[in-house]
Structure 1
Amino acid sequence: MEENFIPKVLQGKKVYLKPLNASDAKTYYKQLFNVETRRLTGTKAIFNYEQIVEYIDRKRGDDSTVILLIALQETDELIGEIVLQDLDYTNRSANLRVAIDQPARQGHGYGTEALCLMLDYGFGILQLHRIELNVYDFNERAAHVYEKVGFKVEGRQRDALFYNHKYHDAILMSMLEGEYREKYQNVK
């Protein structure tokens, strides 16, 4: 395989999504230590580099998880990740998580575009019926983006996260395949 080959699995105008590979371990490891990203995602665990390498290796054969890195089209810079996890092929459902790892890269529509690419993959290729996610009550910007994309609030888990000496609610949101098709079928 060509040394500079970059597998652009899903492509948008601003970003593309690529599989997480062993060669991305160093970048992925660094992304896990952005203070604001850790807060917004409620990440408490501390990982060492070897744990990240093992995680990547373990996920390679895991058909219940799709981990894609978000990269800028213009520069190939890796700026975050988007994941479909807990894939349940019997019930055609999954949980989604997304993180843009640098505050300077947030607010430019990269996460929104990555979400739309992953939703298209989930509902179109994987034939999912339901995709859900959780967002913490203090992450209003993300909740707004999820609503704009078409997620609906289903409920609130009170005091679900204890972070930095305080409890926070988790808001459960979801989108069904019919809602996705209604919103996006005429866009393409």
Structure 2
Amino acid sequence: MEIIKYLENDRVYLRRVEQGDVDHYLAAVSNPNIRRLTGTTDFLTREMLENAINKWNENDSRIDLLICLQENDQVIGDLAIVDIEHRERKGSFRIAITDEQYTSKGYGTEALRLIIDYMFNTLNLRRISINVYAFNARAIAAYEKLGFKLEGTLRDDLFFDGQYHDNHLLGLMKDEYVK
């Protein structure tokens, strides 16, 4: 079966999530570090994830994609555009590099550039946002490098590992985007 690469650059490409990708999500939500970074507190089963993928693919207000390496088609992460509002021309997204051997190597930033360009120049959004937990300094630095600004904080929003953590809302307007 041919892989459809929706967005790509030299090192990574983004493709739609399919039912056969449930193992990627199952591995991600089973990894304690990924669970912490994403704020995943539920114990998800294969059946729950299969049902979630079906719902995602039927929902017009979101686009779920996997981040894959050009060199060998390996899935290294995922992202989703969510809460698309065409009238207000805004939306939000989430991203995770779920294969930890590929963190801090620029793959996440490359995927971010692909999806941000798509959100601004194809979906014609004027504003995009992302939530990130305050302890995720690496992600915050990557977003700020692309022009995202702190817009607000939900204090003590996540209870994880016996303590509360702040949840930051970062936003980016199309005219502020640092290419």
Q: What range is the shorter-chain TM-score in?
A: over 0.9
Q: Is residue 54 of structure 2 the alignment partner of residue 57 of structure 1?
A: yes
Question: 2:9 is matched with which residue?
Answer: 12
- 1:21-60 equivalences in 2 (<5 Å): 21-60=18-57
Contact residue 16 and residue 70 of structure 1 kept, 8 A: yes
| SS of residue matched to 2:30 | coil
- 1:77-96 equivalences in 2 (<5 Å): 77-96=74-93
Q: What is the rounded CA distance, in whole Å, between the counterparts of 1:143 and 1:25 in structure 2?
A: 28
User: Of residues 117, 140, 143 in structure 1, which corresponds to 2:140?
Assistant: 143
Matched residues, number: 179
User: Of residues 121, 124, 143 in structure 2, which corresponds to 1:124?
Assistant: 121
Gap regions ≥5 residues in structure 1: none
The one-letter amino acid paired with 2:16 is: P
The one-letter amino acid paired with 1:160 is: D
| Deviation for aligned residue 1:52 | 1.1
The percent of aligned pairs where both chains have the same amino acid is 41
Contact residue 34 and residue 102 of structure 1 kept, 8 A: no
Q: What is the rounded CA distance, in whole Å, between the counterparts of 2:151 and 2:83 in structure 1?
A: 18
Computed over aligned residues only, the root mean square deviation of the Cα atoms, in angstroms, reads: 1.1
What is the TM-score normalised by the length of structure 2?
A: 0.96
Question: 1:133 is matched with which residue?
Answer: 130
- 1:96-175 equivalences in 2 (<5 Å): 96-175=93-172
Q: Deviations over 1:98-127 (max 9, x none)?
A: 001122110000100000000011001100
The one-letter amino acid paired with 2:86 is: Y
The one-letter amino acid paired with 1:67 is: D
| Deviation for aligned residue 1:55 | 1.1
Q: Deviations over 1:1-21 (max 9, x none)?
A: xx2x11110001211000001
| SS of residue matched to 1:17 | strand
What is the TM-score normalised by the length of structure 1?
A: 0.92
Gap regions ≥5 residues in structure 2: none
| Deviation for aligned residue 1:133 | 0.7
Q: What is the rounded CA distance, in whole Å, between the counterparts of 1:31 and 1:58 in structure 2?
A: 19
Q: What is the rounded CA distance, in whole Å, between the counterparts of 2:146 and 2:34 in structure 1?
A: 21
Q: What is the rounded CA distance, in whole Å, between the counterparts of 2:38 and 2:166 in structure 1?
A: 13
Q: Deviations over 1:23-53 (max 9, x none)?
A: 2122232222221111011110111111111
